[in-house]
C-alpha cells in the first residue's frame, strides 16, 4: 500500500468485505444458466410446457443466487459500517459500535446511546464455517493457513482479493507494521480475522466518542444522521425472489 501524504477523503477509506465462496457460486450458476440456454437453442425443447417450467426454475434460482450469494457484503468507510444482507441493509456509525465478534456470522453489536439497549446485526456475507467455529471454541486458530471451509477466501475492495495484502495494508494504515499481529490474524479463520480488524477500528473510534451529555445537539428530537443507525428493506431483491417464485408456481399449477 503506498504511503499517504495527505488526509484522504472519506470515499478513499471505502472497503468492501465478503467471502470468495458465494461470489464463486454466483458465477458458476451464471455459467450453468448460459450453458442451458445455448443447449436449448441448439437442440430445442421437447414441449412448450417443459420450456416454461425450466425457464421459471432458472429465473427463480438466479434470483435466489443473486440475493443470497452476490448481494451480501460489508462496506466500511470513514463514517461507519454498512451491512448489506440479502433483504435488509443496516448502516451503523463507528462511534455506536460496542463490539464486533463471531458466532455463526460476524456480529456487530451497537447501542444508540450510553443507556440504550445493545442490539446485534448479523453480517450474512461473513459467515463462520462449523470447522472454523470449532477452532475458535478451542482457542486454537490453527496454522498460518487460514481455514474457513469452502468459501473461506476473502474478497476485498472491488473484487481484488489477497488476505496477506489486506492484513499488511491494515497494519500500514495504523502507522506501523506489527509482524506479531499480522501472524495472529493470518492464523485465524478469515471471518474471525475480519471481525478482529473491525472490532479494533470500532474501539479506536469509540474512544473518540464525546462523554455522555456532550453529544451533538439534536434538532426537533431527531438524531443527527452521522450518529444514527438506519435500516432499510431491499425491495428490488425481494421482488427478484418473490416474482419468479410466483411465476414458477403459476407455471407448475397451470
pLDDT of 231:
95
What does the alpha-carbon distance between residue 121 and residue 132 come to, in Å, rounded to a whole number?
Answer: 20
Neighbours of 93 (CB within 10 A): 21
Quickly state the pLDDT bin for 59 (edges 50, 70, 90): very high
How far apart are the C-alpha atoms of 16 and 251, rounded to whole Å?
A: 39
Question: Residue 106 pairs with which residues in a beta bridge?
Answer: 102, 123
Cell numbers representing residue 153 in the block: 477466501
Average pLDDT over residues 52-75: 95
Cα separation, 213 vs 215, in Å, equals: 6
- Judged against a pLDDT cut of 60, whether residue 217 lies above it is answered with no
Q: How far is CA 141 from the centre of its chain?
A: 22
Give me the mean pLDDT over the 180-203 stretch: 80
Higher pLDDT, 52 or 172: 52
> What is d(CA 122, CA 101) in angstroms, rounded to the nearest whole number?
10
* Amino acid 128: pLDDT: 85
The x, y and z cell numbers of residue 197, run together, are 480488524
| Lowest model confidence (mean pLDDT) among 24-33, 78-87, 173-182 | 173-182
Angle at the Cα of 136 (from 89 to 185), degrees rounded to 5?
Answer: 75
Report the interhelical angle of 20-43 vs 48-65 (nearest 10°): 160
pLDDT tens readout for residues 98-112: 999 988 899 999 998
Q: Are 97 and 109 in contact (CB under 8 A)?
A: yes
Name the band, by pLDDT with cuts 50, 70 and 90, for residue 20. very high
Report the pLDDT value the prediction gives residue 158, as an integer from 0 to 100. 39
Q: Which range is least confidently modeled, 100-109, 161-170, 210-219?
A: 161-170
Calpha distance 157→177 (Å, rounded): 21
124-127 contact pairs (CB < 8 A, 24+): 124/68, 124/72, 124/85, 124/86, 125/17, 125/18, 125/19, 125/22, 125/72, 125/73, 125/74, 125/84, 125/85, 126/17, 126/18, 126/19, 126/74, 126/191, 126/194, 126/195, 127/19, 127/151, 127/191
165 vs 77 pLDDT, higher one:
77
Q: How far apart are CA 198 and CA 216, in angstroms?
A: 25
Question: What pLDDT band is residue 220 in, cutting at 50, 70 and 90?
Answer: low
The overall average pLDDT reported for the chain is 78
Average confidence (pLDDT) over 118-124: 95
Residue 71: per-residue pLDDT: 96
Query: Any idea of the CA torsion for 179, 180, 183, 188, to the nearest 10 degrees?
Result: -140
Higher pLDDT, 172 or 150: 150
Q: Residue 147: pLDDT above 70?
A: no
Amino acid at each position: 500500500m503506498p504511503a499517504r501524504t495527505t488526509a484522504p477523503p472519506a470515499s478513499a477509506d471505502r472497503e468492501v468485505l465478503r467471502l470468495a465462496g458465494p461470489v464463486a457460486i454466483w458465477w458458476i450458476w451464471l455459467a450453468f444458466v448460459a450453458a442451458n440456454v445455448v443447449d436449448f437453442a441448439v437442440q430445442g425443447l421437447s414441449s412448450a410446457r417443459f420450456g416454461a417450467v425450466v425457464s421459471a426454475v432458472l429465473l427463480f434460482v438466479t434470483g435466489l443466487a443473486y440475493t443470497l450469494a452476490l448481494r451480501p457484503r460489508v462496506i466500511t468507510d470513514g463514517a461507519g459500517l454498512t451491512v448489506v444482507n440479502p433483504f435488509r441493509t443496516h448502516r451503523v456509525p463507528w462511534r455506536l459500535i460496542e463490539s464486533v465478534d463471531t458466532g455463526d456470522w460476524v456480529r456487530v453489536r451497537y447501542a444508540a446511546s450510553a443507556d440504550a439497549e445493545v442490539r446485534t446485526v448479523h453480517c450474512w456475507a461473513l459467515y463462520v464455517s462449523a470447522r472454523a467455529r470449532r477452532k475458535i471454541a478451542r482457542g486454537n486458530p490453527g496454522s498460518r493457513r487460514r481455514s474457513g471451509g469452502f468459501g473461506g477466501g476473502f474478497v476485498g475492495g472491488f473484487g481484488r482479493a489477497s488476505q496477506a495484502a489486506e492484513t499488511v495494508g491494515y497494519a500500514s494504515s495504523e502507522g506501523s507494521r506489527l509482524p506479531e499481529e499480522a501472524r495472529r490474524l493470518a492464523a485465524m479463520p478469515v471471518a474471525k480475522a475480519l471481525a478482529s480488524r473491525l472490532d479494533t477500528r470500532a474501539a479506536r473510534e469509540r474512544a473518540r466518542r464525546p462523554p455522555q451529555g456532550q453529544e451533538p445537539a439534536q434538532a426537533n428530537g431527531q438524531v443527527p444522521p452521522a450518529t444514527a443507525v438506519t435500516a432499510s428493506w431491499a425491495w428490488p431483491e425481494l421482488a427478484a425472489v418473490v416474482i419468479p417464485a410466483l411465476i414458477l408456481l403459476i407455471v407448475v399449477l397451470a
